[in-house]
Amino acid sequence: MFGIGLGSLVKIGFRVSDHILKQQEIERSRTAAEKARLQAEASREKTIEENSRYRRTQLEDQIARDSVAVECPNCGATGNRIRRSSTGFCQFCGTAIQISGKGDICIADPVERERALAAEELRRKNGETVNV
């Protein structure tokens, strides 16, 4: 009636089975490759975050080493930390305080105060920490 023998049907069945198995293997390979790619990307992001955290910690340590706890010569407030060889501002009264490289403290002259204000404004615009 159909003209196809049992042997031909068996051969077709094997071919279909082989094709299905090959497709499944291809899909498993794609899934494994995608999983490996996602793991590599996650690892890369983790490394970037760890490096950033490490650099941030180093910068904080350097700022702590380079800064001095300062008592304001104007109001006597003690919560100020200012980098050596720079001018900062009292957190309480706003007095410009100049620190020498050796750590000597004095009220900044008007010209230095204006420079420090301009630098502080620039840091604010750039989103940097002010009065470190």
Tens-digit pLDDT profile for residues 47-97: 999 988 888 888 888 877 888 888 888 888 888 888 888 888 888 888 888
Structural domain spans, the chain:
67-126
Identify the H or E element spanning 86: strand 86-89
Q: How far apart are CA 132 and CA 60, in angstroms?
A: 10
- pTM equals 0.42
CA dihedral 42, 45, 47, 50 (to 10 degrees): -120
Interval 22-49: pLDDT, tens = 998 988 888 888 999 999 999 999 999 9
3-state secondary structure of 98: strand
The reported pLDDT for the residue numbered 68 is: 82
